[in-house]
Structure 1
Amino acid sequence: MTAYAIAHLRPTDGPVPEEVFVYMERIQETFTPFGGRFLVHGTTVEVREGEWPGALVMIGFPSMPEARSWYDSPSYQALLPFRTNHIPGDLVLVEGVGPDYDAGETARGYREAQTGA
């Protein structure tokens, strides 16, 4: 099942530190060995509900084990502080759903669990 690394990075005031540019230049080489590829990066976020200060980055992986292996890899862990020391944000790893996923079936399961039926 496909997995995703999703980051919500928030803006900061002032010039972008050199380490952030280095992070951007090197990140792709850290996830390529794990089958990762950018799905969203450097594009405008169109907010339709709520607020979204900052940027969205999405990287797709063949599966959750590859996503975890990338994040935990020595090459990414060495690079990670170049971003986290300068840009606040959140990053999650999440598994996707398959092509036959049905939200209605999920709702029925939740409803049954809630009502005890």
Structure 2
Amino acid sequence: MSKGYWVTTYRKTKDPAKLAAYAQLAGPAVAAAGGKFLVRGVADEVREHGLKERTVLIEFPTYEEAVAAYDSAEYKKALEALGDGVERDLRIVRGVE
């Protein structure tokens, strides 16, 4: 089984308070689902049309657990708190075995 990853790149933060509320709920939801934060912060360098915004990389034991974490009731609460506070791209991908 390959590991699963959430790869999130932020395009724009419109409401820092909503992002903070999201973080308070998302962190525990991700941890409860077996997720481990590998990267969390603003890029030090930007290349190839990237934006100097927040990037988050979370590793899960399996791809299936990564998908289940996103679909969990706990994470849905975090998404509700985030609302339209940011513009971002979140992808769930399989690790290389």
- Give TM class, smaller chain: 0.7 to 0.9
Q: How many residues end up aligned between the 2 structures?
A: 96
Q: 2:90: which partner in 1?
A: 91
Identity, % of aligned positions: 31
Alignment partner of 2:41: what SS?
Answer: coil
How far is 1:73 from its partner?
A: 0.2
Counterpart check, 1:28 vs 2:27: yes
Q: Which residue is 1:3 aligned to?
A: 4
Alpha-carbon RMSD across the aligned residues, in angstroms, is 1.8
After TM superposition, which residue ranges in structure 1, 4 or more long, deviate above 6 angstroms?
Answer: none
Q: Is it true that 1:59 corresponds to 2:27 in the alignment?
A: no
Q: CA deviation at 1:86?
A: 0.8
Note the residue ranges of structure 1 that are not aligned, 5 or more in a row: 99-117
Aligned-partner SS, 1:88: strand
> Which stretch shifts more, 37-46 or 59-68?
37-46
TM-score (norm 1): 0.72
Normalized per residue, the structure richer in helix is 1
1:78 corresponds in structure 2 to 77
Q: Which has the higher strand share?
A: 2
Unaligned runs of 5+ in 2: none
- Structure with larger Rg: 1
Query: Which residue is equivalent to 1:110?
Result: none
